[in-house]
Chains A and B, each alone.
Chain A
């Protein structure tokens, strides 16, 4: 039982002040822009909810949002099962455990634009290892600056490369917390490997998988740097995800009003979906 103590607020105060400084002031700036029109010279005019209406009705926004959902959907459907499979087949003890953990965590520690640049030189059709292999050894035409399909395959593969390890590490943490006695009991009962997975391992991984899915959702939905460096949103607009489109409007065209309105809609969607995920995945615990 926790003690009730209102003085605990003093402990939380520094965190509150620092995060509020970083979160509230910028978000108020964005709200402020989203309801105004400017022609430069720091002159602002009241615009009301016009920008929100314009964004919500624009085909460009719908297309970018659609691509964003497709991207995140593909990421989750590939990385989560793959991560679980790899975690299940990892050794539980011995010298190979640290080797696996360190090598697997490595991609997550590389700066995001380096990840993009690295995959760029890896997939160049004439001098990149993967690009050369696919084009010349397999004889399949592969050039992501020309083909939208190739560009999509590349950004998905890059993200799988970059972030599957997060799911692996978390699932693995859940798996090693299962006492041996559980497995022995399952063996005595003659449970099949599938039954062991379904009734012992999966329930034990539930908490960590919830965290993994939530983090993967948030981060893949907000992804910007890696695909931007890799494809620049091209060819055409085929890989222009929501955040890339947002930066184009905000810093490229300097349309502050529409960009601010779009930011708020974007943030609201992320919050809403995260909340849905969270509620759905923790629903059973409440009972």
Chain B
């Protein structure tokens, strides 16, 4: 252990403290939380989690979130793959302009789009559906997915494509059986970032849903205000929102750092 490893250790400690506090609070009774400060739960309880797992208005929030996040990831990757291939292999009229325009969509403040999005999705009859949120999140996820995938595809030599055509592969067959497996790390990284940004976004998800597709994060704000100060319940719900992210991150841990590094600016 060298002297400089004290820096990452301190940093990780700083990152873990608020998370520890949230988790500790989720195991406390509301009484204990309000009665005063305690570093560890004095009367350990699973009551808060039991409420969440038995009350449909709670657990459906999780299911809704997972549905639209998965839907968004699938849509984003599916349409981004051919586009990224086009950007990495061909030059065509307006390609650079188009690429930059795509990236500018990441710069639009979500607050700007909240109201027009509500009107747009209401007028096409998609309001309060999982598809509406999944499509809306494409605004910032597709540009990101194209950007990351293009970076990975750029690292694959063009000779691979040419050899396959000489061997008589058709384009779709080449793309699915040869090209995709070659860049599967890139697909993983892109899917990870799509999942991440769709999972953490709330403003648009909340604006576009009412009951049927309401995300967990929005359920939390509603319950907090109507049931008074149920901190324990809030903490348990918050703790549960960390878990999907933690699982996904574990699977792509060897690629996350690479993901952005290979993309071009």
Contacts and interface: CB of A to CB of B under 8 A. Distances in A.
The SS class assigned to the B binding surface is helix
B71 interface: no
A113 B221 contact: yes
Interface string A86-104: 1011110000101011111
Contact of A118 (B22, B90, B114): B22
A284 to B, nearest CB: 13
A177 B216 CA distance: 39
A26 B116 contact: yes
B243 to A, nearest CB: 10
B91 A3 contact: yes
Interface string A49-75: 000000000000000000000000000
Contacts of A122: 17-18, 21-22
Contact of A23 (B4, B108, B200): B108
B109 A222 contact: yes
Contacts, number: 269
Chain A contact patch, size range: 35 or more
Interface stretch (B48-56, B179-187, B253-261): B253-261
Interface in B5-45: 5, 7-8, 11-12, 14-22, 25, 33-34, 36-37, 39
A11 B81 CA distance: 9
B79 A8 contact: no
B102 A3 contact: no
A263 B260 contact: no
Interface of B: 4-5, 7-8, 11-12, 14-22, 25, 33-34, 36-37, 39, 75, 79-80, 82-83, 85-87, 89-93, 95, 98, 102, 104-117, 119-120, 135-136, 138-139, 142-143, 146, 196, 199-203, 216-217, 220-221, 224, 231, 234-235, 238, 241-242, 245-246, 248-250, 253-254, 256-261, 263-265
25 contacts: A2-B89, A4-B92, A5-B91, A7-B92, A11-B85, A12-B83, A12-B86, A14-B82, A15-B80, A23-B108, A30-B112, A103-B12, A105-B249, A109-B248, A110-B238, A110-B242, A112-B201, A114-B242, A127-B37, A129-B17, A129-B20, A169-B260, A170-B261, A250-B111, A270-B108
